Amino acid sequence: MPHLPNAVMWSIPAFVLLAVVEMVSYRFHPDEDAEGYAANDAATSVTMGLGSLVFDLLWKIPIVAIYAAVYELTPLRVPVVWWTLPLMLLAQDFFYYWSHRGHHVIRILWACHVVHHSSRKFNFTTALRQPWTTWTVWPFYVPMIALGVHPAAVAFCSSVNLVYQFWIHTERIGTLPRPVEFVFNTPSHHRVHHASQGGYLDRNFGGILIVWDRLFGSFVPETDRPVYGLTKNIDTYNPLRVATHEYAAIARDIAAARDWRERAGRVFRGPGWQPATVPEAGLPEAGSPEAGPEAGRPEPVGESVR
């Protein structure tokens, strides 16, 4: 197994330099329509990024143990050579798509990923706003390990994917040539992903490639100007609250639930899911013809946010 570097660690100086360049660009070439930078928001994003490096080391201990066990059990082996690395990157990007999509549609997974969407700005520091509870990500890559890909190679591909996504967190780049926009994830596509408008929600999950979204029906082009953040913003720059607010909301909803069916829904259904309402005496049941098409449509409660 050749030594494969951690692309994220090697890229930190470039992250800092590009963020400074982008800040300066807003100073000398302001854009009234762009969100730009706010000091408290950028500081929170950087703090979340630094914290994620620490917590990832803790989560890595059990995850590496599980990956190592799966790798030892499988008889398959994929050599790490020049022509297999691109295939590994392609496979990792495919599984990243499903991991990312799952973290948007299952609430307990969203509780981890919501951190990255909690900023109302969209700039290079937003890319650094990473969660501290990434223990929910590892199951999506077990198939790669079972197919004989060394855990270190999976880690390398994941770091390359994360580094790629740094540069797409910007409003300073419009759209790129059509062939690039068709195949790759770009700032335009990722602005859609970070938007909170209804038509943009849960779209454009790709990491490096946008073709997965085109294939699986989750692609939407950028048309209206995005409004960044959550459908219900949390209005805090406290890193601990940013990291844990959705877990706290889940705990409150479970405590207030009427039965185990509702408790399971609060954890494993989508963010903002509500159980069917019980109709009052004399009123038609939600979903019946007498109730009309809008009756019983749930609204998010508590701090569950999209």
DSSP 3-state of 195 = strand
Instruction: Count CB neighbours of 179 within 10 A.
Output: 8
Q: Residue 93 falls within a domain, yes or no?
A: yes
Q: Residue 15 falls within a domain, yes or no?
A: no
Q: Residue 299 falls within a domain, yes or no?
A: no
Instruction: Count CB neighbours of 158 within 10 A.
Output: 23
Contact (Cβ atoms closer than 8 angstroms) between residue 167 and residue 18? yes
CA dihedral sign of residues 76, 79, 85, 86: negative
**The domain containing residue 220 runs over which residues?**
36-246
Check residue 294 and give its pLDDT: 36
Q: Residue 295 falls within a domain, yes or no?
A: no
Q: Where are the alpha helices (DSSP H) in the chain?
A: 7-28, 39-73, 84-105, 107-113, 124-127, 142-146, 151-166, 178-183, 187-194, 211-216, 239-256, 260-268
Per-residue pLDDT of the chain (306 residues; tens, 9 = 90+): 668 888 999 999 999 999 999 999 998 888 877 888 999 999 999 999 999 999 999 999 999 999 999 999 999 999 999 999 999 999 999 999 999 999 999 999 999 999 999 999 999 999 999 999 999 999 999 999 999 999 999 999 999 999 999 999 999 999 999 999 999 999 999 999 999 998 999 999 999 999 999 999 999 999 999 999 999 999 999 999 999 999 999 999 999 999 999 999 999 999 989 998 755 555 554 444 444 333 333 333 344 556
Q: Residue 79 falls within a domain, yes or no?
A: yes
What is d(CA 158, CA 187) in angstroms, rounded to the nearest whole number?
A: 19
Check residue 121 and give its pLDDT: 96
Number of structural domains the chain divides into: 1
Q: Residue 221 falls within a domain, yes or no?
A: yes
Q: Residue 199 falls within a domain, yes or no?
A: yes
Q: Which of 212, 211, 116, 214 is nearest to 169 (CA)?
A: 116
Contact (Cβ atoms closer than 8 angstroms) between residue 166 and residue 21? no
Check residue 35 and give its pLDDT: 84
Q: Residue 85 falls within a domain, yes or no?
A: yes
Burial code (b: 16+ CB inside 10 Å, e: under 16) for 60-91 equals: eeebeeebeebbeeeeeeeebeeeebeebbeb
Instruction: Count CB neighbours of 58 within 10 A.
Output: 11
Check residue 21 and give its pLDDT: 96
Q: Indicate the pTM of the whole model.
A: 0.89
Check residue 5 and give its pLDDT: 86
Check residue 72 and give its pLDDT: 97
Burial code (b: 16+ CB inside 10 Å, e: under 16) for 245-267 equals: bbeebbeebeeebeeeebbebbb
